[in-house]
Amino acid sequence: MHKKQIKLSDLAEELGISTATVSRALKNYPDISAETKQKVIALANKWNYRPNSLAASLRNKETHIIGVIIPEVVNHFFAKVIKGIMEVAYDAGYRVMLCQSNEDYDKEVDDAHALLSSRVDGLLASLANHTRTFEHFYDFMDSGTPVVFFDKTSPEIKDCSKVIIDDYSGAYQAVESLIQQGCKRIAHLQGPGNAHTFQNRLRGYLTALKDYQLPVDPDLIIECPEFTLNRGRLSAHQLVALPKGVDGLFAVTDLLAIGAMKGFREKGIQVPEEVAIIGFSNWEMVEAVFPPLSSVSQPGYEMGRQATQILLKEIKASKNEEDITHETVTLATELVVRGSSKSV
């Protein structure tokens, strides 16, 4: 049973003044006497008054809430992004409504509509792997609510800011490093769908091979529908079984790389002596496996922070009716070489 929450008029009645005065006293307006302010604040504390932000938001047309749509929460990279988002948001007095699309386009649309109904002040979004239409995001932009995409986005979306990482270069560097240490048959464990991040990593792989005049063997490119250790393990088995074998591997994500490492070991293949492996994301656990996994760093925390900073800037500009210039920030990656491959 919901007991009554204290409201402004309760305070006003008790003190024999109007709600207007109470409201202004609590917000420290200049034209309220010090004496009144003090009385109001004292009573508000005593009665544990918590303003109803629904009413305030309705009146002010701003909620101080930002919506976040993310494909998957149980993912070390996205978790770090969320942390970055929440810290910057909190410091600016904003709260976060989090939605997980679960890599499901329909749910993504549904979440977007709900956040629009909630009148969030801005939206941060990362696309599901199979999202191809963007009307649910255009709805935000049309209503004047800033949207910033991070990580998984699409070049088709115009007129809005983005924070991405340089997947292409990261992948290129990784594969180049494998080539320079003598690998001739380099496999790639590829991500699912047409997500641009994964496509860019694939492109980096292909371009590196081409630049060094290595042939592209379709047998060496395996699309992994989900990112699990086991999927990486099975892919390694598949590669070992190839007539021409394999001597290097670049995986679209660390979990697959580690799984593959395990799969190779099961088949008696030495890492890095017989197969050199490089992953992508550089999350903490890569140092824990043996040999430690070389990986391309993917700065999730920084991505979350920057995306939120840009969003807050646009929210502010939007409020002041200034015009906003959208920007695309590309965060650099870095190849961190460890025991699973050789430094060159």
21 binding DNA? (CB under 7 A): yes
38 binding DNA? (CB under 7 A): no
Do the Cβ atoms of 84 and 150 come closer than 8 Å?
no
- Tell me which of 42, 58, 332, 344 binds DNA, using CB under 7 A: 58
By CB under 8 A, what part of segment 99-128 binds a copy of itself?
99-100, 102, 107, 113-114, 116-119
Amino acid, res. 161: S
Neighbouring C-beta atoms of residue 3, cutoff 10 Å: 4
Name the minimum Å distance from CB 8 to DNA: 3
Name the minimum Å distance from CB 200 to a copy of itself: 25
Residue 223 interacts with, from DNA, a copy of itself, none (CB under 5-8 Å by kind): none
State how far the Cα of 311 lies from the Cα of 305, in Å rounded to an integer.
Answer: 10
5 binding DNA? (CB under 7 A): yes
Element at 60 (helix H, strand E): helix 53-60
Reference 69, options 106, 95, 99; nearest CA is: 99
By CB under 8 A, what part of segment 239-258 binds a copy of itself?
255, 258
Rounded alpha-carbon distances, angstroms, from residue 169 to 21, 175, 180, 319: 60, 10, 16, 37
- Provide the sign of the torsion angle of the four alpha carbons 272, 274, 278, 279, taken in this order: negative
Do the Cβ atoms of 24 and 32 come closer than 8 Å?
yes
9 binding DNA? (CB under 7 A): yes
23 binding a copy of itself? (CB under 8 A): no
Contacts for 175 with CB less than 8 Å, ≥ 6 apart: 186, 188, 204, 205, 208, 209, 250, 278
State how far the Cα of 72 lies from the Cα of 75, in Å rounded to an integer.
Answer: 6
Q: Which is nearer to DNA, 26 or 157 (CB)?
A: 26
Q: Which is nearer to a copy of itself, 118 or 270 (CB)?
A: 118
Strand intervals (E) in 55-212: 65-70, 95-100, 122-125, 147-150, 161-165, 186-190
Do the Cβ atoms of 59 and 116 come closer than 8 Å?
no
Residue 79 interacts with, from a copy of itself, DNA, none (CB under 5-8 Å by kind): a copy of itself
For the chain, the straight-line distance linking the first and the last C-alpha, in angstroms and rounded, comes to 68
Q: What is the DSSP letter of 284?
A: G
145 binding DNA? (CB under 7 A): no
114 binding DNA? (CB under 7 A): no
Residue 18 interacts with, from a copy of itself, DNA, none (CB under 5-8 Å by kind): DNA
**Phi, psi angles (nearest 5°) of residue 247:** -130, 5
By CB under 8 A, what part of segment 272-311 binds a copy of itself?
284-285, 287-290
Name the minimum Å distance from CB 144 to DNA: 12
Rounded alpha-carbon distances, angstroms, from residue 317 to 58, 158, 269: 20, 19, 57
Q: Which is nearer to DNA, 55 or 344 (CB)?
A: 55
Q: How many residues sit in the footprint of a copy of itself (CB under 8 A)?
A: 64
Binding site for DNA (CB under 7 A): 5, 7-9, 16-21, 23-24, 26-27, 31-33, 35-36, 49, 51-52, 55-56, 58-61
Binding site for a copy of itself (CB under 8 A): 1-3, 5, 48, 50-55, 57-58, 61, 63, 65, 73-76, 79-80, 82-83, 86-87, 90, 95-100, 102, 107, 113-114, 116-119, 139, 142-145, 228-229, 255, 258-259, 261-262, 265, 284-285, 287-290, 318-319, 321, 323
